[in-house]
Structure 1
Amino acid sequence: MFFYIAFIASAGLGGLIATTQLIGALANSSRASEIPDTLKNLGIDFGAVSLFAFLYFQENKSKNAQVARLSREENLSNLKLRVDKKRIIPVSSFRGIARLVICAGPASYVTESFKLSEPLTESLLDRGVLVVPFVTDGNLPTLEFEESEELKPPGARRKRLWQLAPVFISEWSEWIDQQKKMAGVSSESPVYLSLRLDGRVRGSGVGYPPWNALVAQLPPVKGMWTGLLDGFDGRV
């Protein structure tokens, strides 16, 4: 961006000199032969100023968007989650440990998301996925787990996948509403956000989380891939 400003200043100075030369040539008929070259130089300088000004503003816009995105992600990392009856920790504590998927919508939406994830429970957990259900209508979703976790391990695995719960609901609601507003999404629309291992937002959208796509695209968090692909969860 510094060089863009320098090029703009240089071309602007050249344009100013070319303008004075053009005025002098127009005022003096004996210098009429200089007009074509002067106009050519003035056009080049004007084009250079326009080009580098455009590049500067594009770069500045991109920088501001990146800063805003990082700020939103930092605010997200400070939101709190309840892990169990005794532990409340911020989202940032899951960096390098789990890939959170936030499901925000009415209780019926959360219930259906729960049902759609059931066939892929093992695969999602193998990839470090943990779900954060955020209910927006004040009702309770129907999340049916097996009663005896010891006798029926699948029930325990399902409960582990869906064990997290948002704390300080007003802060969560404010953050999600801001994201919807910036994305031009209706405040009533159910949405999902998936995070990478490094805590950055990997993807988001309206509707149900793409459980199948997550399983297909994400590497396991155990075995030979542990550490090697941390954070390489696709485009941000």
Structure 2
Amino acid sequence: MFFYLAFIAQASLGGLIAITQLNGALANPLRVGVVTDIAKGLGIDIGAAALFAFLYYRENKIKNAQMAKLSRVENLSNLKLRVDERKIITVSEFRGLARLVILAGPSSFIKEAFELSETFTEQLIERGVLAVPFCTNGNTPSFEFDETEETKELTKKRRRLWQLVPDLTPEWSEYLSLQLDGHVRGSGVAYPPWNAFVAQLPLVKGMWSGLLDGMDGRVL
């Protein structure tokens, strides 16, 4: 971008010089023969200045978009989550440990998403997915877990999947899904695609855990 500005300045200076020379040539009948050459040089300078101005504008627009994205990710990473009555941690502390799926909507939406996730509980836990329910209407839903002996292990995993609660809720406002490295994987207006998470996200166990995260397809 520095060089773009330098080229714009150079072309603009050349254009000003060419305009001065062109005025002098037009005023002097003896220099009429060089008017065409001066005009060509002026055209080249104007074209060069316009080209580098466009490239600078495009590069600056891309930079601003990247900065906005980084700022959004940074703000998201600073949001706080309550694990239990005594422990509160930030989103960034889950980096490398879990993939957070943040759901925002009324309590009815959260409860429906909770029920839809039941079939995929074990697979989601194996892939490091943790749900973060954020109720936009202020009514925290009550999750009902099966407490029978036959489903004891599944219930334990479901409680783990849905154990996180947003702290300082006014700072939470979007439904987002994070990659294991902390980057935003995708966003949308719908129930979370639990089946797509199970199909596309790699397991978090083993030596390849998290290595290819972000290269494992897109959840739509």
Could you give the per-residue CA deviations for residues 93-146 of structure 1, whole angstroms, max 9, x where no partner exists? 101101111000100111121122222222222221111000011223252222
Which of residues 189, 197, 205 in structure 1 aligns to 2:188? 205
Given residue 176 of structure 2, which amino acid in structure 1 is its aligned partner?
A: L
User: What SS does the aligned partner of 2:192 have?
Assistant: coil
Q: Are the structure 2 counterparts of residues 149 and 7 from structure 1 closer, same or farther at C-alpha, using a change threshold of 3 Å?
A: farther
Aligned equivalents of 1:200 and 1:97: distance in 2? 13
Q: Are the structure 2 counterparts of residues 149 and 53 from structure 1 closer, same or farther at C-alpha, using a change threshold of 3 Å?
A: farther
Match of 2:140 in 1: 140
Match of 2:52 in 1: 52
Contact 1:118 1:158 (8 Å CA) reproduced: yes
Aligned equivalents of 1:126 and 1:111: distance in 2? 22
Contact 1:196 1:233 (8 Å CA) reproduced: no
Q: Are the structure 2 counterparts of residues 149 and 204 from structure 1 closer, same or farther at C-alpha, using a change threshold of 3 Å?
A: farther
Could you give the per-residue CA deviations for residues 137-158 of structure 1, whole angstroms, max 9, x where no partner exists? 1223252222257852111111
- Paired residues in the alignment total 218
Could you give the per-residue CA deviations for residues 204-228 of structure 1, whole angstroms, max 9, x where no partner exists? 1222222233233322211242142
Aligned equivalents of 1:44 and 1:217: distance in 2? 53
Match of 2:26 in 1: 26
Which of residues 221, 226, 234 in structure 1 aligns to 2:204? 221
Given residue 83 of structure 2, which amino acid in structure 1 is its aligned partner?
A: V
Aligned equivalents of 1:115 and 1:11: distance in 2? 65
Contact 1:196 1:231 (8 Å CA) reproduced: yes
Structure of greater Rg: 2
Given residue 49 of structure 2, which amino acid in structure 1 is its aligned partner?
A: V
Taking structure 2 as the reference length, the TM-score comes to 0.89
Contact 1:103 1:131 (8 Å CA) reproduced: yes
User: What SS does the aligned partner of 1:155 have?
Assistant: helix
Q: Are the structure 2 counterparts of residues 21 and 128 from structure 1 closer, same or farther at C-alpha, using a change threshold of 3 Å?
A: same
Aligned equivalents of 2:108 and 2:147: distance in 1? 22
Aligned equivalents of 2:89 and 2:10: distance in 1? 54
Taking structure 1 as the reference length, the TM-score comes to 0.83
Aligned equivalents of 1:88 and 1:150: distance in 2? 32
Structure 2 alignment gaps of length 5 or more: none
Aligned equivalents of 2:120 and 2:162: distance in 1? 13
Query: How does 1:1-236 map onto structure 2 within 5 Å?
Result: 1-148=1-148, 152-172=152-172, 176=173, 192-230=175-213, 232=215
Q: Are the structure 2 counterparts of residues 233 and 198 from structure 1 closer, same or farther at C-alpha, using a change threshold of 3 Å?
A: farther
Given residue 141 of structure 2, which amino acid in structure 1 is its aligned partner?
A: P
Aligned equivalents of 1:34 and 1:211: distance in 2? 73
Given residue 182 of structure 2, which amino acid in structure 1 is its aligned partner?
A: G
Aligned equivalents of 1:215 and 1:33: distance in 2? 76
Structure 1 alignment gaps of length 5 or more: 177-190
Aligned equivalents of 2:13 and 2:107: distance in 1? 64
Identity percentage of aligned residues: 67
Q: CA RMSD in A?
A: 2.1
